[in-house]
Each structure stands twice: as C-alpha cells, then as structure tokens.
Amino acid sequence: MRALVAAMAMALAALQLSACGGAQPSSCSPRAIRPHPEIGGELLYTCYAWPAVMGGLYLLDVATGIVRPLTSDSAWNADAAWSPDGGRIAFQSTREGRSDLYLMNVPDRHVRRLTDGVGFNEYPQWSPDGSWISFTSSRAGVNGPVGAGGSHRDVYLVRPDGSDLRRLTSLSGYDGSAVWSPDGSRLAFNSDRRGAFDLYTMTSDGRDQRQLTHHEGSGGSAAYPRWSPDGSKIVFNASNPPGDPAGASIYTVPAGGGEATRVTRGYDFQADWSPGGSWIVFLGKRRGHTQLFVVRPDGSDLTQLTSEAADKDRPTWRPV
C-alpha cells in the first residue's frame, strides 16, 4: 500500500512506471487499431517505448482505428491536455533538457515553450475559456515536511502566452494534478496534506479548499480527478478495499461531495470523460502492458481499444 500511496503523489506517474516494469521491450510505432465507430471521437495519449526512458504523443481516431504520432523526438513528452477548441495541446517535455511545459499547434505541429525552466513542471490543463493554463510545479522548493508521497508540488496558473504566473497552493507536501470544472469556477486536485492522497476542490483563485474523498487513516488514496461535462460528477482512480485483487479502480463522486461509486473492477487508473459524457476512457493494467479501455459511466459496455505491446498513459478526449 505504501507503493500505491507514493504513486498517487504524482497522480500515479510512479505507478505507471512500476506497471510498465521496463523489462518488456515495447514499440510505439503507430498502426491501425480495431475501429469503433459506435464510440467515435479522438483520443490523445502518451506511449512509452521501454526500456528507453522516452515517451511520444499519439492521436487515436477511435471510429476508424487510425493512429498518428504528434511528436517524433527522443524526449519525454507526456501529460498532454487539449485547448478548449481542440486546436492546441499543452504538454510536458524534456526536449530542452529540463521538465517544462510546451504548447503545440496540432495542425502544423509547431511547438513553443511555455514555462521558464524553473523547477519541475507538469500536468497542464486549460481553463474552459482558454485564458489560463493550470499546472503542477516544484518551483517554490520545499517549504516544510513532505507528505505521504515524499515530494513537494504546488498548483500554479499561467496565461497561454507565458505571462501572469500565479501560485494557488502553498502547503508543504504535494498539491497537484489540478483540472478545471466545466464552468471554470473551481479546480479539482489531489493532495497529501492530511496523511493520504485525497481529492480536493478550490476556487480558481485558490480559495475555499474543500476535501472530497477521505482516505486518511485507511492506507488508501485517490488521485487524477476529471469533471464530467455537465459538472455534476468527478471521475478518479482510488485504492480498492483491503483484499481486493485489483489495487486501484475507477470511481465517480458527486462534485459537491458525497458517496463514491465504483465504475470498474480491474486494476485501472487515469480516467477521462468523453465530450458528451456517455463514455469514460481509462488505463487498464489487466495483462502485460497498460492499455486504453472505455466504459459507460454505469460500468457497462467495457471495451478494450488498444492491445499492441506498448504502454499507454494519460488518455484524454479531444473536445468537439
């Protein structure tokens, strides 16, 4: 359980590495995947080529099964997020030797740097009106005892042109992986401030911080929140009860707080809603490599989308 809690500190970034293992060589060469026209849409994700520590961004057209790469360098490219109009992505990359955030214009793949090389910068997310990008960073340094995850991060905002940097959290330990509500009024994020990783929400200026899940004292954890398109629910991954063979699964919780509902029964994490809210995409560690799956919010119609020998990460649906 300690390993799982530590993984949640990075919104399961460490868990991805342990799940991938590094012992099984993989290939991220794009190839056609079985088409699913009944599901449709486009999914952006990272594919890791192990044992080399590198990741590339790929775009899957779910209806046709066609996959195309968006990056072609040997850097670590990950944590991609769509702009509200679906024309640009913000992502983390080590292409200039440090972990910084970049913006890509998808049609021509033109890339420019967003952050300034200070600290470790990750998990960008666009505000619904496109005027802000939230992200997680270690740029402030350690200002007190670290928490359950053994790292220090805070949530920041920046304009898409790189100006007007603002810090929203300032506790010791980990606050990060923030994502905007559909109306832009609140951010959901995960934090280890009370001894376990749990989900919280706050206003877009960092005020009114409210706890949504409660794993303190249980040895469990919750991470990677994503709001439903109508703003009523948040999907996330969380530790399962003791004795459950699946270490973590997908859950939903009312955005205002309340009882969580379990959606999947496998070892699953990193979920995101389809634009219409009728599907949830997630990563599943069922056999071998981590793969992309989709499921209805009520847990029905589970469908595996990918199966090639490569590890996927952080799937996100393109806005329509």
Residues sharing a CB contact under 8 Å with residue 158, sequence separation 6 or more, in sequence order: 114, 115, 132, 133, 135, 164, 165, 166
Average pLDDT over residues 276-288: 93
6: confidence class by pLDDT, cuts 50, 70, 90: very low
**pLDDT tens column, 201-246:** 999 999 999 999 999 878 899 999 999 999 999 999 999 999 999 9
**pLDDT tens column, 254-270:** 999 999 999 999 999 99
pLDDT reported for residue 51: 65
Residues sharing a CB contact under 8 Å with residue 89, sequence separation 6 or more, in sequence order: 44, 57, 70, 80, 81, 82, 83, 103, 104, 106
Number of independent structural domains in the chain? 1
Residue 14's Cβ-side half-sphere holds a number of Cα atoms within 13 Å equal to 13
Residue 4: pLDDT over 90: no
**pLDDT tens column, 83-97:** 999 999 999 999 999
Q: Are 320 and 278 in contact (CB under 8 A)?
A: no
pLDDT reported for residue 149: 76
pLDDT reported for residue 77: 95
For residue 87, give the CATH number of its domain.
2.120.10.30
- 174: β partners: 153
Residue 158: pLDDT over 60: yes
pLDDT reported for residue 217: 78
pTM: 0.90
Report the amino acid identity of residue 29.
S
CB-count exposure of residue 246 (10 Å: 0-12, 13-18, 19+): middle
74: confidence class by pLDDT, cuts 50, 70, 90: confident
**pLDDT tens column, 9-66:** 333 333 333 333 333 456 788 888 999 999 999 999 999 877 666 789 999 999 999 9
The whole-angstrom separation of Cα 67 and Cα 76 is 19
The whole-angstrom separation of Cα 116 and Cα 10 is 21
A 10 A CB-CB count for 107 gives 8
Least confident span in 122-131, 138-147, 270-279, 302-311: 138-147
Q: Does residue 142 or residue 167 have the better pLDDT?
A: 167
- 210: β partners: 201
pLDDT reported for residue 25: 55
Residue 152's Cβ-side half-sphere holds a number of Cα atoms within 13 Å equal to 13
Residues sharing a CB contact under 8 Å with residue 60, sequence separation 6 or more, in sequence order: 33, 42, 43, 44, 45, 66, 67, 292, 305, 306
Picking from 9, 51, 18, the residue whose alpha carbon sits closest to that of residue 309 is 51
Residue 5: pLDDT over 60: no
pLDDT reported for residue 31: 83
The whole-angstrom separation of Cα 35 and Cα 5 is 36
Q: How far is CA 237 from CA 183, 254, 273, 318, in A?
A: 23, 14, 13, 21
**pLDDT tens column, 99-145:** 999 999 999 999 999 999 899 999 999 999 999 999 999 999 887 77
Using DSSP bridges, classify how beta strands 133-137 and 175-180 pair: parallel, antiparallel or unpaired. unpaired
**What is the domain range of residue 248?**
2-317
CB-count exposure of residue 3 (10 Å: 0-12, 13-18, 19+): exposed
Residue 197: pLDDT over 90: yes
